[in-house]
């Protein structure tokens, strides 16, 4: 999906890809850990194996013998004089982050819808900044709770973990949290069907 560049608010925060972590319970998914450029908030985003491989190569500044898919995309953009200006993470729905590649061609800016994992790999390849809206970052970031403990947003947890937390919330009679978790689980299940 491509649209005119009118969806990006002025109040945005720049992020840098800080690390790539393998999920202990699933070797098919990784977590790209993005950190606020001028702050201490972090944003964990799940990425697939292929995107994780591309991100890891760019972070370690290793190049493949032949162009990978993200390299091909960047080469095509260059060949057609399209400049990738930035990546903008604009929403999260059902645990999935949505992003735009903000591109410029002949003075016109357009937003190209992209999977966030692909957008991160392209941003690292092109050296372009990654942004997120302030409000979205506040609701989705990891926070240092002190003593080595971090709180993590629901978006990073898989549905099975959420079900376990839901059972615990019900056992503790925390019905407000239980209702919220139930709604998140329902939304994810509806998005998968």
What integer pLDDT is reported at residue 49 of this predicted model? Answer: 86
What integer pLDDT is reported at residue 87 of this predicted model? Answer: 97
Q: Evaluate whether residue 85 is within a structural domain.
A: yes
Q: Is 45 found in the same domain as 79?
A: yes
Q: What is the CATH number of the domain that holds 12?
A: 3.10.690.10
Number of domains in the chain: 2
Model pLDDT for residues 158-179, shown as the tens digit of each residue: 677 778 778 887 888 888 878 8
Segments forming the whole domain that contains residue 28: 2-140
Question: Stretch 121-142: mean pLDDT, rounded?
Answer: 91
Structure confidence at residue 193 as a pLDDT band (50, 70, 90): low
3-state secondary structure the chain: CEEECCCCCCCEEEEEEEEEEECCCCCCEEEEEEEECCCCCEEEEEEEHHHHHHHHHHHCCCCCCCCCHHHHHHHHHHHCCCEEEEEEEEEEECCEEEEEEEEEECCEEEEEEEEHHHHHHHHHHHCCCEEEEHHHHHHHCEEEEECCEEECCHHHCCHHHHHHHHHHHHHCCCHHHHHHHHHHHHHHHHHHC
Predicted confidence (pLDDT) at residue 155 exceeds the cutoff of 70? no
Model pLDDT for residues 53-62, shown as the tens digit of each residue: 889 988 888 8
Q: Evaluate whether residue 13 is within a structural domain.
A: yes
Q: Evaluate whether residue 152 is within a structural domain.
A: no
Structure confidence at residue 79 as a pLDDT band (50, 70, 90): very high
Tokens of 131: 């942004």
What integer pLDDT is reported at residue 1 of this predicted model? Answer: 52
What integer pLDDT is reported at residue 15 of this predicted model? Answer: 96
Model pLDDT for residues 4-36, shown as the tens digit of each residue: 555 666 789 999 998 888 765 556 778 888 999
Q: Is 182 found in the same domain as 89?
A: no
Q: Evaluate whether residue 162 is within a structural domain.
A: yes
Q: Is 176 found in the same domain as 121?
A: no
């Amino acid at each position: 999906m491509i649209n005119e560049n009118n969806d990006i608010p002025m109040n945005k925060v720049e992020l840098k890809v800080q690390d790539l972590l393998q999920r202990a319970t699933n070797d098919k998914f990784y977590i790209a850990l993005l950190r606020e450029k001028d702050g201490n908030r972090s944003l964990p985003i799940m990425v697939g194996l292929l995107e994780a491989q591309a991100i890891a190569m760019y972070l370690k500044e290793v190049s493949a013998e032949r162009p990978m898919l993200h390299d091909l995309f960047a080469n095509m953009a260059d060949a057609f004089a399209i400049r990738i200006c930035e990546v903008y993470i604009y929403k999260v729905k059902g645990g999935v982050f949505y992003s735009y590649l903000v591109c410029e061609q002949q003075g016109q800016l357009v937003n190209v819808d992209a999977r966030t994992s692909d957008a991160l790999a392209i941003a690292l390849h092109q050296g372009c900044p990654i942004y997120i809206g302030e409000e979205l970052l506040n609701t989705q970031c990891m926070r240092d709770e002190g003593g080595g403990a971090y709180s993590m947003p629901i978006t990073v947890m898989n549905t099975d973990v959420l079900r376990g937390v839901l059972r615990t919330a019900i056992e503790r009679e925390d019905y407000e949290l239980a209702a919220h978790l139930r709604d998140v689980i329902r939304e994810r299940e509806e998005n998968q069907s």
